[in-house]
Amino acid sequence: MDFTDFQNLVTEDPTMAFLIIVGVSVVVFFISRIIVGKALVYLAKRTESKIDDIIVEHLKPFRVVWLSPLLILYFFSYLIPDFEMLINSVSLFFILWVSVITLNSLLDAINQIYESSANYSGVSIQGYLDLLKLILLLVGAILSISIFTGESPVVLLSGLGALTAVLLLVFRDTILSLVASVQIAAQDLIKEGDWLEVPAYGADGDVLDISLHSVKIQNWDKTITVIPTYKMVDVAYKNWRGMTESGGRRIKRSLLIDLSSIFVCDQKTFSELSKIDLLKNTISEVKNISVTNQNGISRESTEILNGPQMTNIEIFRTYIDKYLQSRDDLFKPGEGGMTFLIRSLSPSPTGLPIELYVFTKTTVWGEYEQIQAQIFDHLIAAAPLFGLRLFQEPTGMDFSKLSRGTAIS
Protein backbone atom coordinates (compact mmCIF):
# COMPACT_ATOMS: atom_id res chain seq x y z
CA MET A 1 0.00 0.00 0.00
CA ASP A 2 1.54 3.28 -1.11
CA PHE A 3 0.91 6.74 0.44
CA THR A 4 -1.88 7.51 -2.04
CA ASP A 5 -3.80 4.36 -1.07
CA PHE A 6 -3.31 5.18 2.63
CA GLN A 7 -4.48 8.71 2.04
CA ASN A 8 -7.62 7.50 0.24
CA LEU A 9 -8.33 5.01 3.03
CA VAL A 10 -8.01 7.62 5.72
CA THR A 11 -10.12 10.09 3.76
CA GLU A 12 -12.96 7.56 3.49
CA ASP A 13 -12.98 7.09 7.29
CA PRO A 14 -13.18 10.51 9.08
CA THR A 15 -13.01 8.90 12.51
CA MET A 16 -9.74 7.16 11.69
CA ALA A 17 -8.42 10.36 10.13
CA PHE A 18 -9.29 12.34 13.25
CA LEU A 19 -7.64 9.79 15.55
CA ILE A 20 -4.51 9.68 13.37
CA ILE A 21 -4.21 13.49 13.30
CA VAL A 22 -4.71 13.74 17.05
CA GLY A 23 -2.22 10.95 17.68
CA VAL A 24 0.41 12.49 15.40
CA SER A 25 -0.16 15.90 17.02
CA VAL A 26 0.34 14.47 20.51
CA VAL A 27 3.53 12.67 19.46
CA VAL A 28 4.90 15.78 17.73
CA PHE A 29 4.00 17.89 20.79
CA PHE A 30 5.98 15.68 23.18
CA ILE A 31 8.92 15.38 20.79
CA SER A 32 8.97 19.17 20.37
CA ARG A 33 8.70 19.61 24.12
CA ILE A 34 11.77 17.42 24.64
CA ILE A 35 13.85 18.68 21.74
CA VAL A 36 12.88 22.36 21.69
CA GLY A 37 11.64 23.08 25.19
CA LYS A 38 14.04 21.23 27.44
CA ALA A 39 16.98 21.66 25.06
CA LEU A 40 16.65 25.45 25.02
CA VAL A 41 16.32 25.64 28.81
CA TYR A 42 19.33 23.33 29.25
CA LEU A 43 21.53 25.26 26.80
CA ALA A 44 20.58 28.60 28.37
CA LYS A 45 21.67 27.37 31.80
CA ARG A 46 24.97 26.07 30.44
CA THR A 47 26.13 29.37 28.91
CA GLU A 48 27.71 32.22 30.88
CA SER A 49 25.81 34.91 28.99
CA LYS A 50 22.70 36.28 30.65
CA ILE A 51 21.10 37.28 27.36
CA ASP A 52 19.97 33.78 26.42
CA ASP A 53 18.63 33.28 29.95
CA ILE A 54 16.49 36.40 29.58
CA ILE A 55 15.25 35.33 26.14
CA VAL A 56 14.35 31.82 27.28
CA GLU A 57 12.67 33.18 30.41
CA HIS A 58 10.37 35.44 28.39
CA LEU A 59 10.05 33.19 25.33
CA LYS A 60 8.68 30.31 27.43
CA PRO A 61 9.72 27.40 25.12
CA PHE A 62 7.06 25.08 26.55
CA ARG A 63 4.42 27.50 25.30
CA VAL A 64 6.01 27.84 21.86
CA VAL A 65 5.98 24.07 21.29
CA TRP A 66 2.18 24.24 21.07
CA LEU A 67 2.74 25.57 17.57
CA SER A 68 3.88 22.12 16.34
CA PRO A 69 0.61 20.21 17.02
CA LEU A 70 -1.41 23.19 15.76
CA LEU A 71 0.56 23.17 12.51
CA ILE A 72 -0.04 19.41 12.17
CA LEU A 73 -3.79 19.99 12.57
CA TYR A 74 -3.72 22.78 10.00
CA PHE A 75 -1.73 20.94 7.31
CA PHE A 76 -3.59 17.64 7.63
CA SER A 77 -7.10 19.02 8.08
CA TYR A 78 -7.90 18.05 4.48
CA LEU A 79 -8.07 14.43 5.66
CA ILE A 80 -11.36 15.36 7.34
CA PRO A 81 -13.21 17.19 4.54
CA ASP A 82 -16.42 17.69 6.53
CA PHE A 83 -14.61 19.70 9.23
CA GLU A 84 -11.68 21.01 7.22
CA MET A 85 -12.77 24.67 7.31
CA LEU A 86 -13.51 24.57 11.03
CA ILE A 87 -10.20 22.88 11.89
CA ASN A 88 -8.30 25.33 9.66
CA SER A 89 -9.97 28.34 11.27
CA VAL A 90 -9.49 27.15 14.85
CA SER A 91 -5.88 26.03 14.33
CA LEU A 92 -4.97 29.26 12.52
CA PHE A 93 -6.59 31.29 15.30
CA PHE A 94 -4.50 29.60 17.99
CA ILE A 95 -1.34 29.70 15.84
CA LEU A 96 -1.88 33.43 15.39
CA TRP A 97 -2.33 34.22 19.07
CA VAL A 98 0.47 31.96 20.29
CA SER A 99 2.70 33.84 17.83
CA VAL A 100 1.43 37.26 18.98
CA ILE A 101 1.94 36.40 22.66
CA THR A 102 5.43 35.03 21.89
CA LEU A 103 6.42 38.19 20.00
CA ASN A 104 5.15 40.33 22.89
CA SER A 105 7.27 38.28 25.26
CA LEU A 106 10.31 38.77 23.01
CA LEU A 107 9.74 42.53 23.18
CA ASP A 108 9.81 42.27 26.99
CA ALA A 109 13.06 40.32 26.69
CA ILE A 110 14.54 43.01 24.44
CA ASN A 111 13.63 45.68 27.00
CA GLN A 112 15.20 43.71 29.87
CA ILE A 113 18.38 43.05 27.87
CA TYR A 114 18.59 46.75 27.00
CA GLU A 115 18.10 47.91 30.60
CA SER A 116 20.58 45.37 31.97
CA SER A 117 23.34 46.34 29.52
CA ALA A 118 26.42 48.16 30.79
CA ASN A 119 25.72 51.14 28.52
CA TYR A 120 22.17 51.68 29.80
CA SER A 121 21.79 55.37 30.71
CA GLY A 122 18.26 55.29 32.10
CA VAL A 123 16.56 56.31 28.83
CA SER A 124 13.63 53.91 28.62
CA ILE A 125 12.41 52.29 25.39
CA GLN A 126 9.45 50.70 27.16
CA GLY A 127 7.04 53.21 25.62
CA TYR A 128 8.06 52.31 22.05
CA LEU A 129 7.90 48.59 22.80
CA ASP A 130 4.43 49.04 24.31
CA LEU A 131 3.38 50.73 21.07
CA LEU A 132 4.67 47.75 19.07
CA LYS A 133 2.73 45.43 21.39
CA LEU A 134 -0.42 47.46 20.77
CA ILE A 135 0.12 47.22 17.00
CA LEU A 136 0.64 43.46 17.27
CA LEU A 137 -2.59 43.09 19.23
CA LEU A 138 -4.51 45.18 16.68
CA VAL A 139 -3.09 43.13 13.82
CA GLY A 140 -3.96 39.93 15.70
CA ALA A 141 -7.53 41.13 16.24
CA ILE A 142 -7.98 42.06 12.57
CA LEU A 143 -6.51 38.76 11.36
CA SER A 144 -8.71 36.86 13.84
CA ILE A 145 -11.82 38.47 12.37
CA SER A 146 -10.52 37.73 8.88
CA ILE A 147 -9.97 34.06 9.75
CA PHE A 148 -13.55 33.46 10.90
CA THR A 149 -15.32 35.72 8.39
CA GLY A 150 -13.25 34.83 5.35
CA GLU A 151 -12.85 38.50 4.47
CA SER A 152 -9.50 39.88 3.37
CA PRO A 153 -7.64 41.87 6.06
CA VAL A 154 -7.25 44.67 3.51
CA VAL A 155 -11.04 44.97 3.26
CA LEU A 156 -11.30 45.12 7.04
CA LEU A 157 -8.58 47.77 7.25
CA SER A 158 -10.27 49.90 4.59
CA GLY A 159 -13.41 49.88 6.70
CA LEU A 160 -11.56 51.38 9.65
CA GLY A 161 -11.82 54.83 8.10
CA ALA A 162 -15.42 55.07 9.23
CA LEU A 163 -14.35 54.15 12.74
CA THR A 164 -11.56 56.72 12.98
CA ALA A 165 -13.48 59.04 15.31
CA VAL A 166 -14.36 56.14 17.58
CA LEU A 167 -10.77 54.88 17.57
CA LEU A 168 -9.46 58.36 18.40
CA LEU A 169 -11.83 58.49 21.36
CA VAL A 170 -10.97 54.98 22.54
CA PHE A 171 -7.22 55.42 22.10
CA ARG A 172 -7.08 59.06 23.17
CA ASP A 173 -4.88 58.38 26.21
CA THR A 174 -2.66 56.07 24.18
CA ILE A 175 -2.08 58.70 21.49
CA LEU A 176 -1.38 61.41 24.07
CA SER A 177 0.97 59.07 25.94
CA LEU A 178 2.81 58.22 22.73
CA VAL A 179 3.41 61.89 21.96
CA ALA A 180 4.47 62.50 25.57
CA SER A 181 6.86 59.52 25.47
CA VAL A 182 8.54 60.92 22.37
CA GLN A 183 8.89 64.34 24.03
CA ILE A 184 10.29 62.83 27.24
CA ALA A 185 12.82 60.73 25.35
CA ALA A 186 13.80 63.42 22.82
CA GLN A 187 14.32 66.12 25.46
CA ASP A 188 15.78 63.74 28.05
CA LEU A 189 13.28 64.93 30.66
CA ILE A 190 12.97 61.77 32.75
CA LYS A 191 15.03 58.61 33.09
CA GLU A 192 14.55 55.52 35.15
CA GLY A 193 16.34 56.04 38.46
CA ASP A 194 15.71 59.82 38.55
CA TRP A 195 14.49 61.37 41.77
CA LEU A 196 11.25 63.20 40.99
CA GLU A 197 8.98 65.45 43.02
CA VAL A 198 5.49 65.76 41.54
CA PRO A 199 3.43 67.81 44.03
CA ALA A 200 0.23 67.52 42.00
CA TYR A 201 0.20 63.77 42.60
CA GLY A 202 1.94 63.70 45.98
CA ALA A 203 4.86 61.78 44.46
CA ASP A 204 8.40 62.12 45.81
CA GLY A 205 10.86 59.35 45.06
CA ASP A 206 12.70 57.34 42.41
CA VAL A 207 11.35 56.56 38.95
CA LEU A 208 10.98 52.78 38.68
CA ASP A 209 9.52 52.44 35.21
CA ILE A 210 8.51 54.58 32.22
CA SER A 211 6.04 52.79 29.96
CA LEU A 212 3.77 53.97 27.17
CA HIS A 213 0.85 54.67 29.49
CA SER A 214 2.34 55.39 32.90
CA VAL A 215 5.32 56.55 34.92
CA LYS A 216 5.80 54.53 38.10
CA ILE A 217 7.46 56.31 41.06
CA GLN A 218 8.45 54.65 44.31
CA ASN A 219 8.08 57.22 47.08
CA TRP A 220 10.48 57.38 50.01
CA ASP A 221 7.87 55.74 52.23
CA LYS A 222 7.99 52.77 49.78
CA THR A 223 4.52 53.45 48.41
CA ILE A 224 4.05 53.51 44.63
CA THR A 225 2.57 56.42 42.69
CA VAL A 226 1.50 55.78 39.09
CA ILE A 227 1.11 58.86 36.89
CA PRO A 228 -0.20 58.84 33.29
CA THR A 229 2.71 59.47 30.94
CA TYR A 230 0.96 62.29 29.11
CA LYS A 231 0.41 64.11 32.41
CA MET A 232 4.17 64.43 32.89
CA VAL A 233 4.30 67.09 30.18
CA ASP A 234 1.32 68.96 31.68
CA VAL A 235 2.13 69.19 35.40
CA ALA A 236 5.04 70.85 37.18
CA TYR A 237 7.65 68.54 38.69
CA LYS A 238 11.20 68.74 39.98
CA ASN A 239 13.89 66.37 38.70
CA TRP A 240 16.84 66.04 41.09
CA ARG A 241 19.08 64.38 38.47
CA GLY A 242 21.08 67.60 38.02
CA MET A 243 21.96 67.58 41.71
CA THR A 244 23.06 63.95 41.56
CA GLU A 245 25.18 64.47 38.44
CA SER A 246 26.84 67.60 39.88
CA GLY A 247 28.19 65.64 42.84
CA GLY A 248 27.08 68.25 45.39
CA ARG A 249 23.92 68.92 47.35
CA ARG A 250 22.93 72.33 48.67
CA ILE A 251 22.58 73.28 52.30
CA LYS A 252 20.34 76.34 52.57
CA ARG A 253 19.32 76.95 56.15
CA SER A 254 19.32 79.88 58.56
CA LEU A 255 20.09 80.57 62.20
CA LEU A 256 17.75 83.16 63.78
CA ILE A 257 19.71 85.51 66.01
CA ASP A 258 17.95 87.48 68.75
CA LEU A 259 18.45 91.15 67.79
CA SER A 260 18.87 92.23 71.41
CA SER A 261 22.00 90.07 71.74
CA ILE A 262 23.95 91.89 69.01
CA PHE A 263 26.54 94.43 70.22
CA VAL A 264 29.78 96.13 69.23
CA CYS A 265 32.76 94.26 70.64
CA ASP A 266 35.07 95.89 73.19
CA GLN A 267 38.68 94.93 73.95
CA LYS A 268 37.60 92.38 76.53
CA THR A 269 35.38 90.64 74.00
CA PHE A 270 38.20 90.70 71.47
CA SER A 271 40.53 89.14 74.01
CA GLU A 272 38.07 86.34 74.77
CA LEU A 273 37.31 85.59 71.12
CA SER A 274 41.00 85.65 70.15
CA LYS A 275 41.38 82.40 72.08
CA ILE A 276 39.46 80.65 69.27
CA ASP A 277 42.02 79.22 66.82
CA LEU A 278 39.99 80.00 63.70
CA LEU A 279 39.68 83.67 64.73
CA LYS A 280 43.21 84.49 65.97
CA ASN A 281 44.36 86.19 62.78
CA THR A 282 41.07 88.02 62.29
CA ILE A 283 41.03 89.41 65.84
CA SER A 284 44.68 90.46 65.59
CA GLU A 285 43.99 92.43 62.44
CA VAL A 286 41.06 94.21 64.09
CA LYS A 287 43.01 95.06 67.27
CA ASN A 288 45.88 96.53 65.27
CA ILE A 289 43.68 98.91 63.30
CA SER A 290 44.70 102.54 63.78
CA VAL A 291 42.98 104.83 61.35
CA THR A 292 42.64 108.61 61.52
CA ASN A 293 39.59 110.15 59.90
CA GLN A 294 39.58 113.31 57.80
CA ASN A 295 39.16 115.53 60.89
CA GLY A 296 42.32 114.15 62.41
CA ILE A 297 40.49 112.47 65.24
CA SER A 298 42.18 109.25 66.26
CA ARG A 299 39.95 106.20 66.19
CA GLU A 300 42.01 104.61 68.96
CA SER A 301 39.98 105.36 72.02
CA THR A 302 38.42 103.79 75.03
CA GLU A 303 35.04 104.57 73.57
CA ILE A 304 33.64 101.50 71.84
CA LEU A 305 32.39 103.31 68.73
CA ASN A 306 35.68 105.22 68.41
CA GLY A 307 37.77 102.09 68.41
CA PRO A 308 37.84 99.15 66.04
CA GLN A 309 34.19 98.74 65.15
CA MET A 310 33.23 95.12 64.81
CA THR A 311 30.09 93.44 66.09
CA ASN A 312 29.80 90.01 67.62
CA ILE A 313 27.50 88.95 64.79
CA GLU A 314 30.15 89.96 62.24
CA ILE A 315 32.77 87.92 64.06
CA PHE A 316 30.32 85.03 64.27
CA ARG A 317 29.79 85.14 60.48
CA THR A 318 33.56 85.15 60.02
CA TYR A 319 33.83 82.16 62.33
CA ILE A 320 31.11 80.31 60.39
CA ASP A 321 32.97 81.01 57.14
CA LYS A 322 36.28 79.72 58.45
CA TYR A 323 34.68 76.75 60.19
CA LEU A 324 32.91 75.64 57.03
CA GLN A 325 36.04 76.06 54.94
CA SER A 326 37.90 73.85 57.41
CA ARG A 327 35.54 70.94 56.69
CA ASP A 328 36.61 68.48 53.99
CA ASP A 329 33.04 67.41 53.22
CA LEU A 330 32.04 70.82 51.79
CA PHE A 331 32.98 72.56 48.56
CA LYS A 332 35.25 75.54 49.20
CA PRO A 333 34.64 78.95 47.56
CA GLY A 334 35.13 78.61 43.80
CA GLU A 335 35.62 74.85 44.01
CA GLY A 336 33.58 72.73 41.60
CA GLY A 337 31.56 75.75 40.49
CA MET A 338 29.54 75.56 43.73
CA THR A 339 28.29 78.61 45.61
CA PHE A 340 29.78 79.25 49.06
CA LEU A 341 27.96 82.05 50.87
CA ILE A 342 27.31 83.15 54.44
CA ARG A 343 24.94 86.10 54.57
CA SER A 344 22.61 88.12 56.76
CA LEU A 345 19.02 88.39 55.58
CA SER A 346 16.51 91.10 56.42
CA PRO A 347 15.65 91.32 60.12
CA SER A 348 12.21 90.01 60.99
CA PRO A 349 10.04 89.65 64.11
CA THR A 350 11.81 86.36 64.75
CA GLY A 351 15.30 87.88 64.69
CA LEU A 352 18.18 88.31 62.25
CA PRO A 353 18.56 85.30 59.90
CA ILE A 354 22.13 84.19 59.22
CA GLU A 355 21.86 81.95 56.17
CA LEU A 356 24.30 79.26 55.10
CA TYR A 357 24.31 78.60 51.37
CA VAL A 358 26.90 75.89 50.73
CA PHE A 359 27.20 72.51 49.01
CA THR A 360 28.23 69.15 50.41
CA LYS A 361 30.57 66.85 48.48
CA THR A 362 28.07 64.01 48.64
CA THR A 363 24.58 63.57 47.29
CA VAL A 364 23.78 60.50 49.40
CA TRP A 365 20.76 61.48 51.48
CA GLY A 366 21.89 59.98 54.79
CA GLU A 367 25.41 61.43 54.55
CA TYR A 368 24.03 64.82 53.53
CA GLU A 369 21.68 64.97 56.52
CA GLN A 370 24.48 63.95 58.87
CA ILE A 371 26.78 66.71 57.59
CA GLN A 372 24.02 69.31 57.86
CA ALA A 373 23.16 68.20 61.41
CA GLN A 374 26.81 68.34 62.52
CA ILE A 375 27.21 71.87 61.18
CA PHE A 376 24.13 73.31 62.84
CA ASP A 377 24.62 71.41 66.10
CA HIS A 378 28.07 72.98 66.30
CA LEU A 379 26.93 76.51 65.39
CA ILE A 380 23.98 76.44 67.81
CA ALA A 381 26.34 75.45 70.61
CA ALA A 382 28.95 78.05 69.54
CA ALA A 383 26.62 81.05 69.27
CA PRO A 384 26.48 81.80 73.06
CA LEU A 385 30.31 82.05 73.12
CA PHE A 386 29.93 85.12 70.91
CA GLY A 387 27.33 86.62 73.22
CA LEU A 388 24.54 85.74 70.81
CA ARG A 389 21.16 84.26 71.61
CA LEU A 390 19.20 82.20 69.12
CA PHE A 391 15.55 83.16 68.79
CA GLN A 392 12.99 80.69 70.05
CA GLU A 393 9.28 81.14 70.57
CA PRO A 394 8.34 81.39 74.27
CA THR A 395 7.39 78.06 75.77
CA GLY A 396 5.38 77.02 78.81
CA MET A 397 8.62 76.81 80.81
CA ASP A 398 9.41 80.46 79.99
CA PHE A 399 6.02 81.64 81.24
CA SER A 400 6.39 79.46 84.32
CA LYS A 401 9.70 81.13 85.18
CA LEU A 402 8.18 84.53 84.56
CA SER A 403 5.25 83.83 86.89
CA ARG A 404 7.56 82.56 89.64
CA GLY A 405 9.75 85.67 89.33
CA THR A 406 6.70 87.91 89.60
CA ALA A 407 5.46 86.06 92.65
CA ILE A 408 8.81 86.41 94.46
CA SER A 409 9.01 90.14 93.75
**Residues 357-380: what's their mean pLDDT?**
95
Cα distance between residue 225 and residue 232, in whole Å: 13
| Paired sense of beta strands 195-198 and 238-239, if any | antiparallel
Residue 210 DSSP label? E
- At 172, the pLDDT band (50, 70, 90 cuts) reads confident
Residue 387 DSSP label? T
Choices 3.40.50.720, 3.90.650.10, 2.30.30.60, 2.40.70.10: CATH for 187-240: 2.30.30.60
Q: Which residues, in sequence order, are bridge partners of residue 226?
A: 216
**Tens of pLDDT along 174-186?**
778 888 888 888 7
- At 237, the pLDDT band (50, 70, 90 cuts) reads very high
pLDDT of 24 higher than 80? no
Amino acid 403: pLDDT: 62
Burial of 279 (0-12, 13-18, 19+ CB in 10 A): buried
Cα distance between residue 137 and residue 109, in whole Å: 18
Cα distance between residue 273 and residue 260, in whole Å: 20
**Tens of pLDDT along 136-163?**
888 888 788 888 777 777 666 665 555 6
**Residues 268-273: what's their mean pLDDT?**
85
Q: Kindly report the average pLDDT of the chain as a whole number.
A: 79
**Residues 379-401: what's their mean pLDDT?**
83
Amino acid 8: pLDDT: 56
- At 195, the pLDDT band (50, 70, 90 cuts) reads very high
Query: Considering only CA atoms, which of 288, 264, 284, 261 is closest in space to residue 274?
Result: 284
Amino acid 371: pLDDT: 96
**Tens of pLDDT along 316-352?**
999 999 999 999 999 999 888 899 999 999 999 999 9
Cβ atoms 207, 190 nearer than 8 A: yes
pLDDT of 378 higher than 70? yes
pTM comes to: 0.60
- At 293, the pLDDT band (50, 70, 90 cuts) reads very low
pLDDT of 169 higher than 60? yes
pLDDT of 354 higher than 70? yes
Cα distance between residue 320 and residue 378, in whole Å: 10
The whole-angstrom distance between residue 360's C-alpha and the CA centroid of its chain comes to 22
Residue 122 DSSP label? S
First to last CA, the chain: 130
Question: Looking at per-residue confidence, does 19 or 13 come out higher?
Answer: 19
Amino acid 69: pLDDT: 79
pLDDT of 287 higher than 80? no
- Residue 9's H or E segment, with its range, is helix 3-12
DSSP-derived secondary structure for 298-324: BS-SSSGGGS---BHHHHHHHHHHHHH
Domain boundaries, the chain: 3-183, 187-240, 246-396
**Tens of pLDDT along 26-44?**
777 777 777 776 777 767 6
DSSP-derived secondary structure for 37-83: IIHHHHHHHHSS-SHHHHHHHHH-HHHHTTHHHHHHHHHTGGGSGGG
| Residue 404, helix vs strand vs coil | helix
**Residues 240-246: what's their mean pLDDT?**
89
Task: Give the number of other Cβ atoms within 10 Å of residue 249's Cβ.
Answer: 21
Query: Considering only CA atoms, which of 181, 170, 171, 186 is closest in space to residue 231?
Result: 181
**Tens of pLDDT along 76-112?**
776 667 677 887 788 888 888 888 888 888 888 888 8
Cα distance between residue 169 and residue 278, in whole Å: 70
- Residue 145's H or E segment, with its range, is helix 126-149
pLDDT of 11 higher than 70? no
DSSP-derived secondary structure for 324-379: HHT-TTBPPTTGGG---EEEE---BTTBEEEEEEEEES---HHHHHHHHHHHHHHH
